[in-house]
Chains A and B, each alone.
Chain A
C-alpha cells in the first residue's frame, strides 16, 4: 500500500529580549552557571511574576508576521509537571487563550507554492538546564541545575498537520526562522537552542482522510535533523504498517549519531498537565491601535521582498528566494545594488563566491570581510569592462584578505583588462604563428581547437585580455 505522511510542527523560539519574561534577569547566553538568577526565576517561596511587556510585543509582532489573528484578550496558565530543571514545577505558559491564532505561511515545494496553516502562537518561559555528571539523568551520580535559562522568554508556534514530506517540514521551519529574523524578535541561533521543534508525524493510506496514530519527536534543533528524523520515522512507521502492525502513540527522541528515533514514553505514561489559569498575572489586553502600530513597525517580509526583487530586477524566483531567505542577505543585496551594481550580477556574486567563502569560514553575511560597497564597486568594474569576470574572482579573493578597494587592487596588481585591439592583435598573431597544429585543426573543421589558442593568449596576458575581443580577433584571423 502507498502511504502519505501527515506532519505538524511545534516550533519553540527564544525571544531576544534583554531580560527574562517574568523578572529583570539578563537573558545572555553562555554566562557562568547560575549568575543570571533572582528569587523570581528561582521560584523561591513568596515570589510573583511580572510580565515583560517586550515579550508581549515580540509575540504580537510574530503573530502579525505569520498572518495570525491577535487575541485582544489573552491570559497565562500554569502547566504542571515535575522536573528538576523547572523550579516551580509548573511552567507559566498559555492554554486556551493564546496571544495569536489562525495564521499561515507559504512555502515553496516541488509542486509549487503550498500554504501551511498555523494553529496558534503562545508565550511561555523556558526551563533551566541540567548539567549531569554522566550523560543522562538516569546514569548520573549527580546533576547540577543551571537556572540561567529559566524564564528566558519563548514563543511556541504550532502548525496544523499540513506538511506531507520531510522537505516540506524543513522548508516550513526555514520560513519561520527567516520571518522571525526579519522581524528581529529572535536570534534564531539553532546551535544555542534559540529555535527548536517538536515534530508530530503519522501515516495514512495515500488519498484517505482519517489521521493515523502519531509519534512525536522532541527538541529537534537543526534543519538537517528535521529532515532526517522525519525520513527515518516515515520508514519506521511504514514498515510497521506494512507488517500489519499498529503505531503506538508515543514521544520519541532523535539520536543524530545513530540516525534513529527511540521511544521515550508512551501515552499510558503521558503527563496530565492539570492546566489552570495563572492567578498571579492579570489578563493581557491588546487594543486595535496597538496591533496597528506593531503592524506598521514591521519591516518588509520575505515573501513581499522576494516578489519585489523578481518584479523590479527580473531575478529568477529561485535566486530571489535565496537572496531574501535571510534579512541580512537581502539587505546586503540591496546595498550592492544601491552601489550601482547590476542586480543579476549582484545575485550571482552573492550566491557564488561570497556564499562559498562565507560557508568555508563559517561566517555570517553580516560579518563578511567583503562588504556590500566593495562588492558593488567591483561588479561595476566588470560591467564597465575594466576587468573580466575571471579577474573579478582574483580581485574578490584579494578583497577577502585586505581592506583595499577593488580599484586599488587592480592598479597595484596591474590587472586592468587589455582592451586595446592593436595590443591584442599582436599577441593573437604571435600565438597563431607559434601554434601551427591547433591552427591546422581549426582550419580543417575542428572548431573546438580554438580553445587551445585562447588559452595561450590568456596565459600570455595573465588573463587580462578582454575575452570577447580575443575570441573575435582570433576567429577573424583564422577565418581569413
Chain B
C-alpha cells in the first residue's frame, strides 16, 4: 500500500492503530521522493539517515503502547530559511551554502516536541525573495502538476514536496504571499498566520515586520493541527503575541451559517484571469449556498499595496542582510583588505534578485529619500490596515483569489521583475496589515493547473478562517487529488 498520498490525520490513525509503522511510512515517502525528485527538485538537503532514526524511535514508542502526538513519526519538510540545529540552513544562497546553525528556531523546538520525522530542507527563492523558486542559488523547483511550470514561491520547495508526495506536511514562511501563492500554484493548503502568532526566532529574516512562518499541508485538518503545534508566545520574539492560542481543532466543523463574507471589489478587476475568476466565484457561491451571507466590500487602498510592499520589504531586507559580510560566518571571498573582502563576498555570493532588493532598500532609506519613500510607505501601510479594520467591522472573513493566475512557465517572468511583483497583489496586503490568510484549492485551469482560494480573517482569528476553509473543503474533493508527476 502506498502511503505518501495520505494526509497526516489518516496516517496518524494508521500509526496509532499499528496498521503501519513510521519506518514503513518514511521509506514510502522517501521512495516517492526518489521517484519525483529528479523532476521536481523540491529539496536542497535530504536528511535520510536521521529521518529513518526518528521513524524508528516513533515505532518503538508505538510498540511500547504509548500514546503518540499528531505528527509523531510522520515525515515533513522544513523550508531552508528556518534554523535547524546541526543541519545546514542555506536560505538557498551561496552566502550560507555551508552555514550550520548552532541553535534551533523556536518552531523547530515546538515541532520536535511532537517528534515528527524531518525529511530535509526545502528549496526556496534565495532569502525568500521571489515568487517562483527560480531564484534559488542551487536549482529551481518544478511544479508537480506540470514540471514546465514554477511551483510559486518563495516556499516553492515546501509546497511542491507536499503536492508531489515527497513530504506529508511542510513549514514555509510568508512575507508577501510566500506560503499562500505556492500553495495555490501546487494545489495544497497553506496558511500565513497573524503577524505575531508564530515566533520568528530562528527564521532567517527577510522583512522582519512582514515575515511569518506557517504550515503547508494536504488539507485544512492538517493545517489546523500544524498551526496548533507551532503557534504561541515566545520570550525570544518581542513581536510575538501574548494572547492565548485557541484550540484550532474546534474549527474543524462544517458551519458557515450566518457567516458574513466580504468580497472586495478592488480584487476583481477587468483583465483578471477568467479561469481564476470563475473558480473563485464558484467557491463563493458554494459558501453562500452553505449558509454564508456574501456582501461586496471596498478596500480602497489596495492599488498601493504592491508599491508599499516593495519599499518596506526591501528596506528591512537591506538592513537584515547587512550581517552577511564574510567576517565571522557564511561565505567569504578574500580581498586585499577588510572592505575589499566584504565587498567581494557580498558581490559574488548574493544572487541578482537579492542584490536588486538590497539596492532598492538602501535607496529608500538613504538621506534625502527617506521621507519620500520609506516614511510615506509606512503611512500608506497604515491606511491599508485601516481599510481592513473598517471592512472587518462589517464582515467576518474576506474571500479573494490567492494569485491572479495559475502557475506560469519557468522563465516566463524572470526578465520582468515588475510583472512578477504584480503576482503578489492579492497576498501582500495581508502581510502589510498583519492578518491571517489561508489558501486552499478551489479548482483547476483548462491546463489542469490548480487555482487557489484565499480566505482572510481578523487579527488572531485563525479559528474562523479555518472553519470557513474546512466547510468549503468538505463540500468538494479538490484536496483529495494529488499531482501525478509523470516520469
Query: Which A residues fall within an 8 A CB radius of B?
Result: 39, 42-51, 78, 80, 82, 84, 87-90, 137-138, 143, 145, 147, 272, 274-276, 279-282
Shortest distance between the CB of B89 and any CB in chain A (Å): 7
In whole Å, how far is A145's beta carbon from the nearest beta carbon of chain B?
Answer: 7
| Mask of B68-110 contacts with A, CB within 8 angstroms, 1/0 | 0000000000000111000001010000100101110100000
B residues less than 8 Å from A43 (CB atoms): 323
0/1 string, B274-318, CB within 8 A of A gives 1? 000000000000000000000000000000000000000001101
Indicate if B342 sits at the interface (CB-CB under 8 A): yes
| Docked pose: A50 CA to B238 CA in angstroms | 6
Q: Which residues of B contact A (CB under 8 A)?
A: 81-83, 89, 91, 96, 99, 101-103, 105, 200-205, 207-209, 235-239, 315-316, 318-319, 322-323, 325, 327-330, 337-339, 342, 362, 365-367, 370, 374
- Chain A residues, CB < 8 A from B96: 45
Q: Which residue of A lies closest to B329 (CB)?
A: A44
Main SS class of interface, B: loop
In the complex, which of the residues B101, B207, B319, B337 contacts A45, with contact meaning CB atoms closer than 8 Å?
A: B101
Q: How far is the CA of A90 from the CA of B318 in the complex (A)?
A: 11
CB contact between A84 and one of B237, B319, B338 (< 8 Å): that residue: B338
A274 B238 Cβ-Cβ under 8 A: no
- Minimum CB–CB distance from A91 to chain B (whole Å) comes to 11
Pick the residue among A48, A87, A275 that contacts B236 (CB under 8 A).
A48
The CA of A274 and the CA of B316, in the complex, are separated in Å by 11
- What are the residues of chain B within 8 A of A47 when measuring CB–CB? 201-202
Which residues of chain B are near A143, meaning CB under 8 Å?
Answer: 338
Min C-beta distance of A261 to chain B, whole Å: 25
Q: Is the CB of B105 within 8 A of A46?
A: yes
The CA-CA distance from A282 to B196 in the complex, in Å, is: 11
Chain A interface, >50% SS class:
loop
Given the interface contacts A48-B200, A274-B362, does A88 sit within 8 Å of B323 by beta carbon? Answer: yes
Q: How far is the CB of B237 from chain A (nearest CB, A)?
A: 5
Query: Are B103's CB and A39's CB within 8 A?
Result: yes
| Shortest CB distance A45–B (Å) | 4
In the complex, chain B residues whose CB is within 8 Å of the CB of A78: 319
Are the C-beta atoms of A145 and B328 separated by less than 8 Å?
Answer: yes
Q: Contact at A46–B201, with CB atoms within 8 Å?
A: yes
28 A-B residue pairs with Cβ-Cβ distance under 8 Å, sorted by A, are: A39-B103, A42-B329, A44-B102, A44-B329, A46-B81, A46-B82, A46-B83, A46-B89, A46-B101, A46-B201, A46-B205, A48-B238, A49-B238, A50-B235, A50-B238, A80-B318, A80-B365, A84-B325, A84-B342, A87-B327, A90-B322, A138-B337, A274-B318, A274-B366, A276-B315, A276-B319, A279-B207, A280-B238
Contact indicator A45/B236 (Cβ below 8 Å): no
Separation of A147 and B328 alpha carbons in the complex (Å): 10
The interface residues of chain B lying within 8 Å CB-to-CB of A90 are: 319, 322
Cβ-defined contact, B323 with A80, below 8 A: no
Partner among B201, B323, B328, B367 whose Cβ is within 8 Å of the Cβ of A48: B201
CB atoms of A82 and B322 under 8 A apart: yes
**Docked pose: A143 CA to B342 CA in angstroms:** 14
Decide if A274 touches B319 in the complex (CB within 8 Å): yes
Do B328 and A87 touch across chains, with their CB atoms under 8 A apart? yes
Residue of B nearest to A137 (CB): B338
* Docked CA distance A143–B341 (Å): 13
A468 to chain B, nearest CB (A): 72
Of A46, A88, A90, which is in contact with the most chain B CB atoms at under 10 Å from its CB?
A46
Most buried by B among A80, A147, A274: A274
